[in-house]
Amino acid sequence: MSLAVIKAMIKRTYGAHPFMMLSIMKPFLFVLILPVLKGLLQYLISGRITGVLTLEIFAAAAVLFFSFLSFKAFSVSIDGEKMVIRKGFFFKTVAVIKKEKLSCVSWGRSVFDLLFGSVTYRVNTEAGAEGKTDFSFKLKLKDAKEMSFFLYGEENRTAVRFNVLRSAVFAAATSSAITGLIVGVPIINNLGRLLGVALSQTIFDEINQASSRFDKYFPPIVNVVTFVLIAGYFLSFLISFVKMLGFRLRIGVDKTEVEYGIIARYRTIFKKQAVNDVCIEQTPLMRLFKMFSMRAAVGGYGDKKGEKAIIVPAARHYQIKNQFKAYFPFLYPDSRPIKAERSKRNLARFLWQAHLYAVLDIGVTVALSVLFPSVLRFLLLAGISVMAVIAYYGNLCFKCFRLGKLCIDDKIFASGFSGLTVRELYCEKSRIGEIIIVQTPADRIYGTCKAEVVVRSESADRIKVRNISYGQTMAAIGKNFNISE
């Protein structure tokens, strides 16, 4: 009897890990559980409890009781080719999903999961709300391993490891100060409240003191903002770096498995056919290291990640393409690419926006400097910073003029940029959701167009290729999508 037949006959049911009770209680954590914990902490420090109501203790107990009932009512079964998820004590729900309809299963282990021996298991299909896991639950580690085996098996997959430096490059390139601040500020506030210490004020005083040392060179407001942004960026980098450490990729015949994280370990398996498109991207920081990252847009993926799976954190362009040549054949289109015409006139058409922004930046900086001479230093610094971003944007436009391409055959390839990130999009023709051809009056004069390729996905990837030949583009579309005008 083959393994596939055995798997089809198997019927197993798994209960949730008791730690799931805590995740059910999570929404009530700050309202009910934390005040009770705070009261206990106060009692241990000062020997008396203030601010904790008896009602809160009873409410916390009731929440705990209902969480227990929900935990007991939860079960997940593997019944041959089907997966059955049952949940709810008062309001029962049953979901029956065919194995073939699963687009991705992933499991992660946070620090608490490691302590309690549990696993956060996530099941995704192509249906369901955008950017949200369809089913998320806690299982015992042993059960999670067994269930993954029944769902996807353990075939002999080639493992590819990425070293610490590459993880660091990826973390540095994808971190942002805003993310760091969004994550860091609530933690600092809540921790300060829990411990009864003005933690945020202490940190702000420290930043103020440190930034005052640079007042001689830069305006005080610039120093404070820079320090806050650097702190945010550092925090974001740290989170991203720790998360990406130990990145391991296993490529099977029709499945891909991604594993990463040191403290919290995440494991994701998705089917090759669930991949809508792959993007090879280069952020401004990655350009310094001449490296690219590769991600796949998978229908129904992971946990609130917008259906994007990082496949390669950082590598050279040719390395990525060579490595995935066999696995994603659409990385190598067959037809000749349609490119923008290499002429001075066309170059000027690519760069006109950057020129306009530069003139506007100079104009606004000069006007504001005349109107508000008291903040001249700040205005000059802001003007120069904006000019640097515009210069980078101009460089991207130039790169797009040289390397912007569109291939339309059974495999689709488009390269351009989105924001400040250089992007190449590859997919099969059948995955295309829409192609938009835009012709401005200037395009009509010069016989060019802008082609935007939109991939069908829960969170669609799109890319625009500028100023390419209208005739060639329409001919390629007509030939491959059976359109004759």
Interacting residues with other proteins (CB under 8 A) = 429-430, 432-441, 444, 454, 456-460, 477, 481-485
| Closest C-alpha among 412, 379, 398 to residue 340 | 398
Rounded to the nearest whole angstrom, what is the least distance from the CB of residue 62 to other proteins in the complex? 42
Residue with Cβ nearer other proteins (85 or 454): 454
Task: CB nearer to other proteins: give 291 or 455.
Answer: 455
Q: Please report how close the Cβ of residue 445 comes to other proteins at its closest, in angstroms.
A: 13
CB of 437 to other proteins, least distance (A): 4
Whole-angstrom CA distances from 363 to 360, 366, 373, 379 are 5, 5, 15, 12
The runs of H, that is alpha helices, within 329-418 are 344-371, 376-403
Minimum CB separation of residue 478 from other proteins in Å reads: 8
The first and second tokens of residue 59, run together, are 């409410």
For 428, the token pair is 């099969």
Q: Is 169 exposed, middle or buried (0-12, 13-18, 19+ CB in 10 A)?
A: buried
Minimum distance from residue 409 beta carbon to other proteins (Å): 14
- In the DSSP assignment, the letter for residue 447 is T
Please say which residue, 457 or 467, places its beta carbon nearer to other proteins.
457
- Give min distance, CB of 5 to other proteins, in A: 32
* H or E element, residue 311: strand 308-315
Cα 338 to Cα 403: distance, rounded to the nearest angstrom: 10
Shortest spacing between CB 432 and other proteins, in angstroms: 6
User: Is the Cβ of residue 191 or residue 356 nearer to other proteins in the bound state?
Assistant: 356
CB of 424 to other proteins, least distance (A): 20
What would the two tokens of residue 257 be?
């498995």
Residue tagged 């805590």 (tokens): 22
Cα–Cα nearest to 295, from 459, 101, 119, 121: 459
Pick the closer one to other proteins by CB: 420 or 477: 477
Residue 241 tokens read as: 């770096």
C-beta of 2 vs 430, nearer to other proteins: 430
Instruction: Using the structure block, give the residue that is written with the tokens 């992933």.
Output: 106
Nearer to other proteins, 47 or 441 (CB): 441
Q: With CA atoms as reference, report the closest residue to 302 among 259, 247, 273.
A: 259
Distance CA 58, CA 273 (A): 50
- Measured from the CB atom, the residue of 335 and 439 that comes closer to other proteins is 439
Who contacts 402 (Cβ-Cβ below 8 Å, separation ≥6)? Answer: none
Which long-range contacts (C-beta less than 8 Å, at least 24 apart) are formed by 477-482? 477/408, 477/435, 477/437, 479/408, 480/408, 480/409, 480/410, 480/429, 481/435
Compare residues 382 and 454 and give the one whose CB is closer to other proteins. Answer: 454
CB of 81 to other proteins, least distance (A): 24
- SS3 assignment, position 161: strand
Give least dist CB 477 to other proteins, A: 6
Burial of 144 (0-12, 13-18, 19+ CB in 10 A): buried
Between 22 and 408, name the residue whose CB sits nearer to other proteins: 408
Contact 361, 390 (CB under 8 A): yes
> In the complex with other proteins, which residue's Cβ is closer, 34 or 477?
477
* CA–CA–CA angle 231, 235, 237 (5° rounding): 115
DSSP state of 374: G
In angstroms, the CA 444 to CA 30 distance is: 60
Residue 447 CB, nearest approach to other proteins (Å): 13
Three-state secondary-structure class, residue 252: coil
> Contact 294/461 with Cβ under 8 angstroms?
no
> Which residue type is seen at 47?
G
- Quote the strand ranges of 219-274, DSSP E: 248-251, 255-260, 265-271
Give, for 329, the enclosing helix (H) or strand (E). none
Q: What is the nearest approach in angstroms of other proteins to the Cβ of residue 298?
A: 14
Q: Which is nearer to other proteins, 226 or 439 (CB)?
A: 439
